[in-house]
Structure formats: structure tokens, C-alpha cells
Chain A
């Protein structure tokens, strides 16, 4: 399968990933993503028809901890790194248009 990354694809992916890109960066990313995606097509030559996708490597035998309430971060501590906080909450700009 051929892969062609055009400017619109870069902008669409950046929008999905919630990333603003500088105008000049779009072409650089387009070229670099194109090169990497062409390289990874080496996987097309791998016969994987019968093979199941890898499961996440999981530590075996780890018991789940008891479902007990435990102390958590105090509110002031949780808000200490917030760029903007008020009344014990994180404050954000308007979510819905006026």
C-alpha cells in the first residue's frame, strides 16, 4: 500500500492530536512523516496472517489490591501546579460559545 502524506493530512492529524503547528513546520513534518511511513512499510512483507497481535506484556500473578478507600492528595496540593485555579477547582476558558 503506497502512502502519500500531503499537507491536508498533516493538518488533519495535527487537529486530531490538538496541536497547533507553525506554518513553516507543516512542510517539514510532511516530508519527515512521509519518509518514516515509507520506511515502516517494510512490515508489508511480513507474513502475519495467522499471527495474533501481541498482548501487552503483563506481570503475572499480581493480585489486585483491596478496594479500600485510601488518603488521596489534598485539594490544595493537587491544585499547586495548576496554571489557573479558583474555589478549589481548575479554572479553564469558556467551553461553549456565548
Chain B
């Protein structure tokens, strides 16, 4: 069973992601702010984190940097899932060490393909 964390302060988005990816193959964890996301990442060490940028307490980029800086969590794949679609935001994401950048609105089918692609990569690695 693969573990995945969705961190977003919008409950509707968490519901959408859960509904998109929920199956016997995945366990889906939820966090509604940056600190919660970081705490869960350290405690549960998910295989993948879907991170919103605009979150209370710590924003997505800060959370990503913290995860990538910590050797215990640096192997976790981080995908930004954000409404911030500008080039400057993407550059900031790249600096923070994100593995992929996914903008809202998104297609659930495309999200599923992305997630499966990441898992297969991790499997082969």
C-alpha cells in the first residue's frame, strides 16, 4: 500500500484528490496547514506529498524546503498542487526542490497519471 499526503487548506480540494486517487492501492493522509503537513511527513513518511502553496502557518514552498533538507524525509516525492501558475512561482518551486509542479484547475485523470508515473519511477529505482 502506497502512502500519500494531500496538504491543502481547502477541504473541497482534499475531497477532490481523495475521490480521484482513493483505491485499495493508496492510503491517503490529509493536512490543512503547512505545519501539520510537515509533522505528518516526518511521522508517517509518505511516498508522495501533494502540496498547496497558500496554506496557513507555513506555505508549501517552506514545507518542501524543510522536507528536502531533512535526510529522513528528503526521499519523499513532492508535487506542488497550486493555483499559483506564474513563472516566478514555478522557479520558486524549483529552488525549493519540488519534483513536479501541477497547477489548479487540474484534470483528475492527469493527476492520476502523474501520481502513477511517480510511483512506477520509485518502484524501478
| Chains A and B are bound partners | no
Using a CB–CB cutoff of 8 Å, the interface residues on chain B facing chain A are none
Using a CB–CB cutoff of 8 Å, the interface residues on chain A facing chain B are none
